[in-house]
Structure 1
Amino acid sequence: MTSRVTFYTRPGCHLCDDARVLIEQVCAELGESYDEISIADDADLERRFGHEVPVTFVDGRQHDYWRVDPTRLRAALT
């Protein structure tokens, strides 16, 4: 089964750490999973998201960047 949420991060990113906690909580609450992808070793992802991480996608569409709003994420998944 494919995860509905994709979470783009980079190591050492405190906003990513905060977002991960919220994503884990919302996904656990709704029985969803998420994929976490580091942009650190991918030049294309670094160019695309370098100034916006963390970036979340829901169902293949960009949903949020910098911060995760748990209410918005929950609504997108229900």
Structure 2
Amino acid sequence: MSTVTVYTRAGCHLCEVAIAAAARIAADTASAFGTVDVDADPEDRAEYGDLVPVILVDGRIHGYYQVDPDRLRAALTAPPPPARS
């Protein structure tokens, strides 16, 4: 199961739209979903503050500013990469 995380901040309209889209797609693909307030941690604010909303899939940056539904759905339904030996 994959995890979608949206870095967001209060009062951000683009964040609200991204959260709704990402949450819907996560639910459709049986993926976990969560949000992080970028302003709650100085390190997060320094890294992502100018880019919110930031969409992560399994802890890796997937996109900024808006959700591309087809691209996010593909990332969440793609088979996992083979394990390294």
Query: Which residue of the partner structure matches residue 55 of structure 1?
Result: 54
Query: Which residue of the partner structure matches residue 44 of structure 1?
Result: 43
Q: How many residues align?
A: 77
Residue identity in the other structure for 2:26? C
Give me the TM-score of the superposition, normalised by structure 2: 0.84
Larger Rg: 2
Give me the TM-score of the superposition, normalised by structure 1: 0.91
Within a 5 Å distance, the mapping from 1:21-40 to structure 2 comes to 21-40=20-39
Gaps of 5+ in 1: none
Tell me the distance in 2 between the aligned counterparts of 1:66 and 1:56: 8
1:11 and 2:6 are equivalent in the alignment = no
Tell me the distance in 2 between the aligned counterparts of 1:43 and 1:18: 24
Percentage of pairs with the same residue: 44
- Alpha-carbon RMSD across the aligned residues, in angstroms, is 1.3
Tell me the distance in 2 between the aligned counterparts of 1:5 and 1:25: 11
Gaps of 5+ in 2: 78-85
